[in-house]
A and B are shown apart, each in its own frame.
Chain A
Amino acid sequence: ETVLTQSPATLSLSPGERATLSCRASQSVGIYLAWYQQKPGQAPRLLIYDASNRATGIPARFSGSGSGTDFTLTISSLEPEDFAVYYCQQRDNWPPKDTFGQGTKLEIK
């Protein structure tokens, strides 16, 4: 089973600053890593898939990079609505099984 470890657990930044969130896999997942944003009381929303592809409607300030075991989600200039919890996710090929990181809470400083 592939384990995903996110860091930091909490990130305190101000609007306008750059945010860098990390996700490390216990074994290579190739490019097959996704990022989700979740706000309180809401379902997760897909931001990035296959490491670097923005989902439909996601602003250009969100970008993803990485391959193998190390991945990064970058928010270039934080907007007030970006403060939320972010999860990374991957799927093992066989047997098919999805795992999530434990989440990074992005909070207003």
Chain B
Amino acid sequence: EVQLVESGGGLVKPGGSLRLSCAASGFNFSNYNMNWVRQAPGKGLEWVSAISSSGYIYYSDSVKGRFTVSRDNADNSMFLHMNSLRDDDTAIYYCARDPWVAAHFFDFWGQGTLVTVSS
């Protein structure tokens, strides 16, 4: 069974940093492109970042230069290092999987971890 479990969320002050983790199981993690998608309270979905199986990395304009995505295939994990956090980064952060190379959608999502940026 495919499982994605996010962790690392919490309360952080503006300007602070946080590292999120996504632990994957039930599939050969190293073969899959992975993503972070966030959802501010009461709002819609916003794609944040993607990392391909071969290590190519992409960011949305809203986080470029502040967030860094990485993965550890040996540990079946993906990470999101978030720096210079702002109030508008407050959201539930989901990790999500691309089902195959050249797919244009996400087939499995984790349950999310809440990041709150507030003084």
Q: Which of A42, A90, A101 makes the CB contact (< 8 A) with B104?
A: A90
Is A17 part of the binding interface, using a Cβ–Cβ cutoff of 8 Å? no
When the two chains form their complex, are residues A87 and B104 in contact, meaning their CB atoms are under 8 A apart? Answer: no
Considering only CB atoms and an 8 Å cut-off, how many residues of chain A contact the other chain?
26
Q: Does B11 contact A (CB under 8 A)?
A: no
Name B60's contact: one of A33, A45, A87, A97 (CB within 8 Å).
A97
Question: In the complex, A101→B43 CA distance in Å?
Answer: 11
**Residues on A with beta carbons closer than 8 Å to the beta carbon of B50:** 96, 98
User: Which of chain B's residues has its CB closest to A31's CB?
Assistant: B104
CB neighbors of B among A56-99 (8 A) = 87, 89-91, 95-99
CA distance in complex: A14, B109 (Å)? 29
A34–B44 CB distance below 8 A: no
A98 with B109: CB separation less than 8 A: no
A43-B94, A97-B60 are known contacts. Are A91 and B104 too (CB-CB below 8 A)? yes
Contacts of A13-42 to chain B: CB distance below 8 A: 32-34, 36, 38, 42
How long is the Cα–Cα vector from A47 to B45 in the complex, in angstroms? 16
Cross-chain contact A100 with B47 (CB below 8 angstroms) = yes
Which B residues from 31 to 51 make CB contacts under 8 A with A? 35, 37, 44-47, 50
Q: A3 near B: Cβ within 8 Å?
A: no
- Contact (A46, B107) CB under 8 Å given A87-B45, A97-B60: yes
Chain A residues with CB under 8 Å of B27's CB are: none
- A50 interfacial contact with B, CB 8 Å: yes
Question: Is A46 touching B46 in the complex (CB atoms < 8 A)?
Answer: no
Query: Is there an interface contact between A49 and B58, defined as CB atoms closer than 8 Å?
Result: no
Closest CB of chain A to B34's CB: distance in Å? 12
Interface residues of B (CB under 8 A from A): 35, 37, 44-47, 50, 58, 60, 94, 103-112
- Contacts A49-B104, A91-B104 known; 15 new A-B pairs at CB < 8 A: A32-B104, A34-B104, A43-B94, A44-B94, A46-B108, A49-B103, A49-B107, A89-B45, A95-B58, A97-B58, A97-B60, A98-B35, A98-B50, A100-B44, A100-B45
